[in-house]
C-alpha cells in the first residue's frame, strides 16, 4: 500500500510525518498542509526525501482574524462570564456592577503583521481602535496609513502602550516564548493578552503567574501548549481567562477553501507543475 | 433613573410634588409614560449618543461569539472530560457573510461600519432610507420590505427602539422567513421579539441560533426555556456597560438634572 501513496493531505497534524513514515512511502511526491502554520513539520527532513510541501495561506487569514476579534470583544465585554451568570439557576442577580472595557478608543498592539495581522488591523480600525504593530520588517507607508497603524520597532514600546495585545506571529525559534515574565510585566495591569498564533509563543507558566497576581487583567487564548491542556492545568481554572479549542479556522467556509487549496497543490505536484503555495525549508 | 427603577407611575408622581426632572440612563425611553410625566410638568432627559459605540460593539461581540461558538468552545476546553478536540467541530464564517440590520439609527449605522471591515454584505431595513452617501460609505443596501432582508441574511441584528410599531416585530412569520442557517441577534429590547415564537423556532431548528443582550423580562425566570438552549447566548443587558461609557452617562445625567433644577434648557431633553 505504501508504494501507492503519492500525496498526503495533512489534517490537524495527523499523520505524524517522521523518518519512518517517509521511508515507508517511496513514491510520495507532496504533503499538503491544512492551514498555514508549519511548526509541526520538519521541513528539512521532508525535503531530503524529495517530497514537496505546501500550505494553505489564502484560506485562513479572514477566519483567523475574525477569531482574534471575537476573543478581543468577548474578553473586553466579559461575555462568557456574564452569559454564565445569565443562565445560572441561582437566584442571585447582580446588575449595575458588571462593567467591561470600552473597545472604541482603546489601543490594540498587533505582534506579527502578516496577512492575518493586517486583516485584524482593518477590523480594529472599524472599531475605532488605535493600532500599534510590531513586526520583523516595517510595512509600506500606504499599508500603514490604510489601517492607521503605527510601527513599534521595539516590542517593549508596544507592550507598554497597548490595552489589548494580540499575538499573530508564526512559531519559529525566534518567536518561541516571545512573551515571558519580562514582557508581561511591561504590559499595563489593565491590559488583555490575546493569542491566536501558537501556544509556545507564550511562556505559559509566566502567564499563569501574571494572571493570578494581576500583572495583566485577562487573557483570551485560542491556542495552548499542549492542545488540549491537561485537565488539572491552572489556566482552565482562572476566572479571567477565555480558552477556545483552536477554532481559528474552524468554519464551514474556511475548511472548504483550505481543502480546495490543498487539492490544487496536490494536483500540481502530481502533474509536475509549479505549486501555488509551496513552502521551502529556510 | 437607573435600569428602569424606580417605576414612574401616577402614585409616585403624586407623592413627589416638587419633582422637576427625571434623568433616564441610556437611550431607550420605552419604560417611561411621557404623557403622564408631561401632565405633572416633569421634564425628561436621556443619554442618547454616548451608548451607541458600546452597543454596536456588543452586537458584533454577540454575532462573533455565536457564529464561532465561543461559549461552547470554552466549555469544551475547560470540561474535565475533554481528551481531544473533535475534527468536525465547526462554526460559521463571518467574513463575507450577509448581515441584515433592522433599525439603521446611530447604533445600527455603527454596526454597519464594523461589519464592513469583516467584508460582510450589508442589508438594512429602516422606516426611512438613509442618504446615498451614508449607504455608500458602508456599502449598505436598503430593503424596503423587511421580508427581503430576512430571507437573505445569515445574521439578523435588531437595533430598533421599542415602540408600538416594533413590538413583536420579529414573530413566527418573520422567523420562518429567515434562513435555517441564520442567527438572530438582539441588542434593542426584549419585546421587539415574540419570545415564545423564538423559543419554538430555536427548538425546531427554524433558525440556527440566537444571541440576546435583552429579554422580557430581565432577568428571565430561572426555569425559562431560553436559558437551557445550547444555541443561545444571553447577556444581562450590558450593551452600554463599560466603565468609560457609564462615567459619561452619569456626567450627562447630572448635567441634565442641574439644568432642570435651575430652570434652564435641559441637555438631551426628551419631548
Q: To probe the interface with B, which of A9, A64, A79 has the most B CB atoms within 10 Å?
A: A79
Nearest to B116 by CA among B143, B134, B92, B89: B134
Mean pLDDT of chain B: 95
Specify burial of residue B178 (Cβ count, 10 A radius: 0-12, 13-18, 19+): buried
- Residues constituting chain A: 282
| B114 and B129 inside one domain | yes
| B70 and B103 inside one domain | yes
Task: Please state, for a pLDDT cut of 70, what percent of chain B lies above it.
Answer: 100
Residue A92 pLDDT: 63
Q: How far apart are CA B259 and CA B237, in angstroms?
A: 29
Evaluate whether residue B229 is within a structural domain: yes
| B251 and B216 inside one domain | no
* Known catalytic membership, residue B222: no
Rounded (10°) CA dihedral A42, A43, A49, A51: 130
CA distances from A249 to A150, A193, B183, B246 (A): 27, 20, 20, 36
CA distances from B157 to A36, B163, B205 (A): 33, 17, 18
Average pLDDT over residues B204-230: 95
CA distances from A263 to A51, A137, A268 (A): 16, 32, 8
Residue A94 pLDDT: 59
CA distances from A46 to A20, A50, A264, B50, B98 (A): 11, 7, 20, 57, 42
Specify burial of residue B264 (Cβ count, 10 A radius: 0-12, 13-18, 19+): exposed
Cβ-defined contact of B95 to A95 (cutoff 8 Å): no
Residue B17 pLDDT: 92
Segment of B17-26, B165-174, B237-246 carrying the highest mean pLDDT: B165-174
* Known catalytic membership, residue A81: no
* Known catalytic membership, residue A227: yes
Q: What is the pTM of this model?
A: 0.93
DSSP state of B28: -
Q: How far apart are CA A57 and CA A279, in angstroms?
A: 10
Buried-state track A60-75, b at ≥16 Cβ within 10 A, e below 16? bbbbbbbbbbbbbbbb
| B98 and B226 inside one domain | yes
| B198 and B250 inside one domain | no
Catalytic site residue from B114, B237, B252, B268: B237
Could you please report the per-residue DSSP string of A15-51?
S---HHHHHH-TT--EEEESSS--TTS-HHHHHHTT-
**From the CB of residue B145, how many other CB atoms can be counted at a distance below 10 Å?**
9
Q: How far apart are CA A219 and CA B265, in angstroms?
A: 46
Buried-state track A235-262, b at ≥16 Cβ within 10 A, e below 16? bbebebbbbbbbbbbbbebbbebbbebb
pLDDT digits (tens, 9 = 90+) for A200-259: 999 999 999 999 999 999 999 999 999 999 999 999 999 999 999 999 999 999 999 999
| B154 and B250 inside one domain | no
- Please report residues of A whose CB lies closer than 8 A to that of B253: none
| B68 and B189 inside one domain | yes
| B248 and B203 inside one domain | no
Say if strands A241-243 and B98-102 run parallel, antiparallel, or are unpaired. Answer: unpaired
CATH number of residue B230's parent domain: 3.40.50.720
From the centroid of its chain, how far is CA B232?
15
* B residues 41-60 lying closer than 8 A (beta carbon) to A: 53-54, 57-58, 60
**CB-based contact (8 Å) between B219 and chain A?**
yes
- Quote the cell numbers at residue A99: 462593567
Residue A23 pLDDT: 94
Q: How far apart are CA A190 and CA A157, in angstroms?
A: 16
| B67 and B195 inside one domain | yes
Q: Which residues are registered as beta bridge partners of B185?
A: B157, B211
Chains A, B: CB pairs < 8 Å: 179
CA angle B157, B159, B161 (to 5 degrees): 145
CA distances from A114 to A146, A259, B58 (A): 15, 22, 28
Q: Where in chain A is the domain with CATH 3.40.50.720?
A: 2-59+250-271, 61-243
Q: How far apart are CA B102 and CA B186, in angstroms?
A: 10
**CB-based contact (8 Å) between B111 and chain A?**
no
Out of A12, A242, A254, name the one closest to residue B74 (CB).
A242
- Quote the cell numbers at residue B64: 462573533
Radius of gyration over alpha carbons of chain A, in Å?
21
pLDDT digits (tens, 9 = 90+) for A29-84: 999 998 888 888 999 999 999 999 999 888 889 999 999 999 999 999 999 999 98
With bands split at pLDDT 50, 70 and 90, how would you rate the model's confidence at B209?
very high
| B206 and B96 inside one domain | yes
Nearest to A129 by CA among A169, A167, A168, A163: A163
**At what angle are helices A79-87 and B70-78 packed, to 10 degrees?**
90
Cβ-defined contact of B57 to A127 (cutoff 8 Å): yes
Catalytic site residue from A227, A233, A264, A278: A227
- Quote the cell numbers at residue A88: 445560572
Evaluate whether residue B269 is within a structural domain: no
Q: Would you say B206 and B178 are in contact if contact means Cβ atoms under 8 Å apart?
A: yes
pLDDT digits (tens, 9 = 90+) for A89-100: 875 655 556 899
**CB-based contact (8 Å) between B243 and chain A?**
yes
pLDDT digits (tens, 9 = 90+) for B136-165: 999 999 999 999 999 999 999 999 999 999
Q: How far apart are CA B140 and CA A27, in angstroms?
A: 53
Cβ-defined contact of A73 to B64 (cutoff 8 Å): yes
Evaluate whether residue B36 is within a structural domain: yes
Catalytic site residue from A78, A123, A198, A217: A198
pLDDT digits (tens, 9 = 90+) for B64-104: 999 999 999 999 988 988 888 887 889 999 999 999 999 99
Evaluate whether residue B174 is within a structural domain: yes
A2-59+250-271 placed in CATH 2.40.128.520:
no
Phi and psi, residue B30, nearest 5° = -65, -20
| B180 and B247 inside one domain | no
Evaluate whether residue B117 is within a structural domain: yes
Q: Domain A61-243 belongs to what architecture?
A: 3-Layer(aba) Sandwich (3.40)
**From the CB of residue A136, how many other CB atoms can be counted at a distance below 10 Å?**
11
Q: Which residues are registered as beta bridge partners of A243?
A: A221
Q: Is the dihedral of CA A267, A273, A278, A281 positive or negative?
A: positive
Nearest to B151 by CA among B125, B196, B182, B122: B182
| Secondary structure element (H or E) that encloses residue B147, with its range | helix B146-152
Structural domain harbouring B144 = 51-79+90-234
Longest CA–CA separation in chain B, Å: 67
- Quote the cell numbers at residue A69: 476579534
Cβ-defined contact of A80 to B222 (cutoff 8 Å): no
Mean pLDDT of chain A: 93
Cβ-defined contact of A102 to B242 (cutoff 8 Å): yes
| B25 and B125 inside one domain | no
DSSP, collapsed to helix, strand or coil, labels residue A120 as helix
H helices, E strands: number in chain A:
10, 10
Q: Is the pLDDT of residue B35 over 90?
A: yes
- Quote the cell numbers at residue B1: 433613573
Q: How far apart are CA B40 and CA B27, in angstroms?
A: 22
- Quote the cell numbers at residue B172: 413566527
What total of structural domains would you count in chain B?
2
ipTM: 0.93
Amino acid at each position: 500500500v505504501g508504494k501507492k501513496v503519492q500525496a498526503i493531505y495533512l489534517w490537524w497534524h495527523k499523520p505524524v510525518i517522521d523518518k519512518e513514515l517517509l521511508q515507508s512511502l517511496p513514491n510520495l511526491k507532496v504533503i499538503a498542509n491544512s492551514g498555514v502554520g508549519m511548526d509541526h513539520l520538519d521541513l528539512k527532513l521532508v525535503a531530503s526525501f524529495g517530497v514537496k510541501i505546501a500550505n494553505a495561506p489564502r484560506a485562513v487569514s479572514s477566519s483567523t482574524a475574525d477569531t482574534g476579534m471575537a476573543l478581543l470583544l468577548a474578553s473586553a465585554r466579559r461575555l462568557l462570564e456574564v452569559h454564565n451568570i445569565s443562565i445560572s439557576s441561582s437566584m442571585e442577580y447582580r446588575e449595575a456592577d458588571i462593567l467591561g472595557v470600552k473597545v472604541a478608543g482603546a489601543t490594540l498592539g498587533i505582534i506579527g503583521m502578516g496577512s492575518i495581522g493586517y486583516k485584524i488591523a482593518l477590523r480594529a480600525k472599524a472599531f475605532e481602535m488605535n493600532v500599534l504593530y510590531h513586526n520583523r520588517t516595517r510595512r509600506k507607508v500606504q499599508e500603514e496609513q490604510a489601517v492607521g497603524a503605527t510601527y513599534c520597532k521595539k516590542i517593549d514600546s508596544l507592550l507598554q502602550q497597548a490595552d489589548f495585545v494580540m499575538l499573530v506571529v508564526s512559531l519559529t525559534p525566534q518567536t518561541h516564548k516571545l512573551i515571558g515574565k519580562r514582557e508581561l510585566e511591561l504590559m499595563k495591569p489593565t491590559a488583555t493578552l490575546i493569542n491566536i498564533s501558537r501556544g509556545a509563543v507564550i511562556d505559559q507558566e509566566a502567564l499563569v503567574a501574571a494572571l493570578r497576581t494581576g500583572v495583566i487583567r485577562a487573557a483570551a487564548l485560542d491556542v495552548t501548549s499542549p492542545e488540549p491542556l491537561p485537565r488539572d492545568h491552572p489556566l482552565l481554572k482562572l476566572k479571567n481567562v477565555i480558552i477556545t479549542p483552536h477554532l481559528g479556522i474552524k468554519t464551514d467556509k474556511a475548511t472548504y477553501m483550505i481543502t480546495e487549496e490543498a487539492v490544487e497543490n496536490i494536483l500540481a505536484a502530481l502533474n509536475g507543475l509549479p505549486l501555488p503555495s509551496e513552502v521551502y525549508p529556510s | 433613573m437607573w435600569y428602569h427603577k424606580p417605576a414612574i407611575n401616577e402614585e409616585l408622581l403624586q407623592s413627589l410634588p416638587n419633582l422637576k426632572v427625571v434623568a433616564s440612563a441610556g437611550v431607550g425611553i420605552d419604560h417611561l409614560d411621557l404623557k403622564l410625566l408631561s401632565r405633572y410638568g416633569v421634564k425628561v432627559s436621556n443619554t442618547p449618543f454616548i451608548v451607541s459605540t458600546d452597543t454596536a460593539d456588543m452586537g458584533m461581540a454577540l454575532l462573533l461569539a455565536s457564529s464561532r461558538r465561543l461559549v461552547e468552545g470554552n466549555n469544551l476546553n475547560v470540561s474535565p472530560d475533554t481528551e481531544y478536540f473533535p475534527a468536525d467541530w465547526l462554526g460559521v464564517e463571518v467574513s463575507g457573510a450577509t448581515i441584515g440590520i433592522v433599525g439603521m439609527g446611530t447604533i445600527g449605522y455603527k454596526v454597519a461600519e464594523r461589519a464592513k471591515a469583516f467584508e460582510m454584505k450589508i442589508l438594512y431595513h429602516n422606516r426611512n432610507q438613509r442618504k446615498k452617501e451614508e449607504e455608500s460609505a458602508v456599502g449598505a443596501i436598503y430593503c424596503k420590505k423587511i421580508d427581503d432582508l430576512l430571507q437573505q441574511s445569515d445574521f439578523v441584528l435588531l437595533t430598533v427602539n421599542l415602540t408600538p410599531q416594533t413590538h413583536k416585530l420579529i414573530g413566527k412569520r418573520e422567523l420562518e422567513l429567515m434562513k435555517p442557517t441564520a442567527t438572530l441577534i438582539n441588542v434593542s429590547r426584549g419585546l421587539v421579539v415574540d419570545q415564545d415564537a423564538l423559543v419554538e423556532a430555536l427548538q425546531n431548528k427554524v433558525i440556527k441560533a440566537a444571541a440576546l443582550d435583552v429579554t422580557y423580562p430581565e432577568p428571565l425566570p430561572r426555569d425559562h426555556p431560553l436559558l437551557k438552549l445550547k444555541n443561545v447566548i444571553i447577556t444581562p443587558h450590558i450593551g452600554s456597560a463599560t466603565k468609560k461609557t457609564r462615567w459619561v452617562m452619569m456626567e450627562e445625567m447630572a448635567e441634565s438634572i442641574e439644568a432642570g433644577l435651575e430652570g434652564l434648557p435641559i441637555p438631551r431633553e426628551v419631548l
